């Protein structure tokens, strides 16, 4: 038995079902669905951007002889440039990090719990990434400092993504609140359409809350891009591994 | 009455817990299911990492150019794949023997071709795409120098020092990667055990 893409994908799908059942009890039916769909879409956006800028690649090995004897190069379901299994894995790590942080520190401030969730995600990433790159589940292609062939930028990114996602989910669907700076942005945009309401978030119905959640994830994605830009720029200048050429 | 209200305000958290007790029970069960599943995920990653040790030791594995699709089929008489799977750190730089040669044992064939024993077709090890019966495999150092001169044929540079996974994997008699995964897995398992324990204690105290 080899730790190839098929094995990784099968394990991910099976464990995701268990996570869905557990999350349904922990979050509640609707919240769990919102959490998982939100996590999948958020990670999909980040992963797609990473692939588009040439920082990561899922299909170099899939389309070549490593996995060519598997259907679709190993990964069965693709969401554009990113395999579904990768986003499901991120959603599982997100759920684990969230539950760990909010069980261990139920009374801490939101930013502290979000930071703990980010830290847990980084530890998970430190375990998963070396196994992934070794078995060519994906290939990192960033010009960066590397630690065990995992770019440090990716570890910073893992922390930032989990922090922002946890913060957005918590402030929108759990402890519903309207941060002052965000309220102004929302009033000028999403509250004109499609929400069409100036009520505070707590008084909105579920559908409207989901729309606000979607908007806040978009804002979180923009903040994530702004947060990552300096890291990428700095590591681009001083690196210990170059970028794989496009003609490769 | 006013005092009672103040008291309730002060202990709002406990009031909320009492009101939400049935939900908390379900919540605890959900936390247990999710975190135990996460533990299974960690163990699965650990096992897959253990299986990948030979790949991790190979320094050119991670940045190796994937071979182009080959239409040739394996030789029928010797069952040797047309794309020889040759880890560069194990193969001498001399020419490989003719593929039609019969080998006495799988070990002999493994040594002669540089293919790890037990590796089957499609195994996740470094590959070359030559269809010639004789192949000259460059050593690791020569590959590193050629990668600088022929930039269009492969990754820019190799990772060095702590950045290179194979350095870790080669340490501790070739068990470095496995030991590091084991330590990391244990850390995560302990980290996941803490909220499980807390949720269980909360359940018992009710």
Q: Is A44 inside a domain boundary?
A: yes
Shortest Cα distance, chain B CAs vs residue A19, angstroms:
5
Q: Please tell me the distance from the alpha carbon of residue A144 to that of residue A141, in angstroms, as a whole number.
A: 9
Range of the domain at A85: 5-237
> Structurally, how many domains does chain B consist of?
2
User: Is A111 inside any structural domain?
Assistant: yes
Q: Is the pLDDT of residue B150 over 60?
A: no
Lowest mean pLDDT among A56-60, B89-93, B174-178: B89-93
Contacts A124 to B, Cβ<8 Å: 42, 188
Backbone dihedral angles phi then psi of residue B67, each to the nearest 5 degrees: -65, 145
Q: Is the CB of residue B174 less than 8 Å from the CB of residue B57?
A: yes
* From A18, A124, A139, residue closest to B33, measured CB to CB: A18
Same domain membership, residue B68 and residue B49: no
Listed residue (B30, B16, B24, B36) closest to B206, CA to CA: B24
Residue of B nearest to A66 (CA): B122
B177: pLDDT confidence band, cut at 50, 70 and 90? confident
What is the phi/psi pair of residue A211, to 5°? -65, -40
Q: How far is it, in rounded angstroms, from Cα A140 to Cα A155? A: 12
Q: Does any CB of chain A come closer than 8 Å to the CB of residue B154?
A: yes
Residues in chain B: 206
Interface contact flag, A22 B159, Cβ < 8 Å: no
Q: Is residue A148 part of a domain?
A: yes
Identify the weakest region by mean pLDDT among A169-173, B70-74, B81-85: B81-85
Helices (H), chain A: 5-27, 29-52, 84-104, 110-134, 152-169, 180-188, 206-237
Q: Per-residue pLDDT for B11 more than 70?
A: no
Q: Which of A88-92, B30-34, B95-99 has the lowest mean pLDDT?
A: B95-99
Contact B33 A21 (CB under 8 A): yes
Residue A12 placed within a domain: yes
Instruction: Mark whether B116 and B141 lie in a shared domain.
Output: yes
Q: Which residues of A touch B27 (CB under 8 A)?
A: 25-26
Is A206 part of any domain? Answer: yes
B181, A130: Cβ pair inside 8 Å? yes
In a domain, B132, yes or no: yes
Q: Alpha-carbon distance B76 to A34, whole Å?
A: 54
Tell me the per-residue pLDDT of B12-26, one tens digit each, with 9 for 90 and over.
544 444 444 457 888
Kindly state whether residue B129 falls inside one of the protein's structural domains: yes
Low-confidence ranges of chain A (pLDDT < 50): 246-248
Q: Which residues of A touch B47 (CB under 8 A)?
A: 3
Nearest residue in A to B177, CA atom: A130
Beta-carbon separation of A3 and B152 below 8 A? no
Who contacts B67 (Cβ-Cβ below 8 Å, separation ≥6)? A64, A65, A66, B83, B127, B128, B129
pLDDT for the residue A122:
96
Residue A248 covered by a domain:
no
B11 and B47 together in one domain: yes
Q: Is residue B165 assigned to a domain?
A: no
Directed axis angle between helix A152-169 and helix A110-134, to 10°? 140
**Structural domain containing residue B93:** 64-157
Q: Check whether residue B188 and residue B131 sit in a common domain.
A: no
B69 shares a domain with B144: yes
User: pLDDT confidence of B144, banded at 50, 70, 90?
Assistant: very low
pLDDT at A174: 87
Residue B173 inside a domain? The answer is no
Partnered with residue A140 across adjacent β-strands are A56
- Domain identity same for B89 and B141: yes
Residue B175 forms part of a structural domain: no
The model's pTM:
0.75
Residues contacting residue A184 through CB under 8 Å, at least 6 positions apart: none
Instruction: Select from A27, A128, A240 the Cβ nearest to the Cβ of B159.
Output: A240
Task: State residue B83's pLDDT score.
Answer: 41
Residues of B whose CB is below 8 A from A1: 51
Task: Please indicate, yes or no, if residue B29 is contained in any of the structural domains.
Answer: yes
Smallest Cα–Cα separation from A43: which of A231, A229, A221? Answer: A221
In a domain, A242, yes or no: no
CA separation for the pair A165, B197 (Å, rounded): 26
Q: What is the tally of structural domains in chain A? A: 1
B:69-98 residues touching chain A, CB 8 A cutoff: 69-70, 83
What pLDDT score does A212 carry? Answer: 92
CA quadruple B162, A120, A140, B67: dihedral sign: positive
B137 has a chain A CB within 8 A of its CB: no
**Rounded to a whole number, what is the distance in Å from the CA of A180 to chain B's nearest CA?**
25
- Read off the pLDDT of residues A118-175 as tens digits, 9 standing for 90 and up: 999 999 999 999 999 888 888 888 888 888 888 889 999 999 999 999 999 999 988 8
The CA angle A144-A147-A150, to the nearest 5 degrees, is 70
Please name the member of A60, A123, A133 whose beta carbon is closest to the beta carbon of B191. Answer: A123
Residues B76 and B133 in one domain: yes
B172 located within any domain: no
The reply to whether A120 falls in a domain is: yes
Would an 8 Å CB–CB cutoff place B152 in contact with chain A? yes
B39 interfacial to chain A (CB closer than 8 Å) = no
Contact A22 B49 (CB under 8 A): no
In A, minimum Cα distance to B155 occurs at: A244
Q: What is the ipTM of this complex?
A: 0.92
A22 touches chain B (CB under 8 A): yes
């Amino acid at each position: 038995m080899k730790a190839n893409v098929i094995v990784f994908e099968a394990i991910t799908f099976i464990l995701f079902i268990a996570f869905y059942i557990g999350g349904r009890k922990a979050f509640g039916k609707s919240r769990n669905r919102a959490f998982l769909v939100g996590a999948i879409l958020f990670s999909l956006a980040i992963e797609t951007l990473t692939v588009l800028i040439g920082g990561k690649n899922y299909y170099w090995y899939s389309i070549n002889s490593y996995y060519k004897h598997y259907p679709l190069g190993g990964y069965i379901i693709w969401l554009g440039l990113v395999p579904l299994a990768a986003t499901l894995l991120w959603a599982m790590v997100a759920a684990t990090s969230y539950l760990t942080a909010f069980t261990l520190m139920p009374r801490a401030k939101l930013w502290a719990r979000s930071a703990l969730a980010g830290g847990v995600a980084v530890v998970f990433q430190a375990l998963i990434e070396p196994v992934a790159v070794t078995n060519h589940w994906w290939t990192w292609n960033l010009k960066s400092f590397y630690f065990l062939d995992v770019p440090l930028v990716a570890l910073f990114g893992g922390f930032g993504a989990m922090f922002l996602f946890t913060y957005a989910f918590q402030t929108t669907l759990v402890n519903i609140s309207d941060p002052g700076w965000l309220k102004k942005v929302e009033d000028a945009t999403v509250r004109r359409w499609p929400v069409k309401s100036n009520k505070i978030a707590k008084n909105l119905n579920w559908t409207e809350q989901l729309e606000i959640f979607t908007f806040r994830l978009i804002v979180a994605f923009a903040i994530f891009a702004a947060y990552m830009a300096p890291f990428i720029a700095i590591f681009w200048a001083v690196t210990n591994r170059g970028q794989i050429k496009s003609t490769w | 009455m006013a005092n009672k209200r103040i008291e309730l305000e002060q202990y709002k958290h406990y009031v909320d817990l009492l009101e939400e007790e049935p939900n908390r029970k379900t919540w605890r069960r959900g936390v247990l299911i999710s975190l135990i599943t996460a533990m299974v995920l960690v163990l699965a990653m650990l096992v897959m990492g253990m299986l990948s040790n030979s790949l991790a030791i190979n320094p050119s594995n991670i940045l190796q150019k994937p071979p182009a699709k080959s239409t040739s089929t394996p030789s029928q008489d010797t069952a040797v794949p047309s794309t020889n799977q040759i880890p560069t750190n194990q193969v001498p730089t001399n020419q490989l023997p003719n593929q039609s040669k019969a080998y006495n044992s799988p070990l002999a064939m493994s040594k002669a071709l540089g293919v790890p024993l037990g590796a089957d077709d499609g195994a996740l090890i470094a590959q070359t795409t030559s269809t010639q019966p004789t192949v000259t495999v460059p050593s690791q150092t020569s590959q590193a120098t050629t990668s600088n001169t022929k930039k269009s044929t492969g990754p820019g540079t190799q990772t060095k020092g702590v950045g290179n996974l194979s350095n870790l994997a080669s340490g501790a008699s070739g068990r470095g990667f496995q030991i590091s995964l084991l330590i990391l897995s244990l850390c995560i398992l302990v980290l996941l055990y803490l909220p499980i324990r807390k949720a269980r204690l909360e359940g018992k105290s009710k």
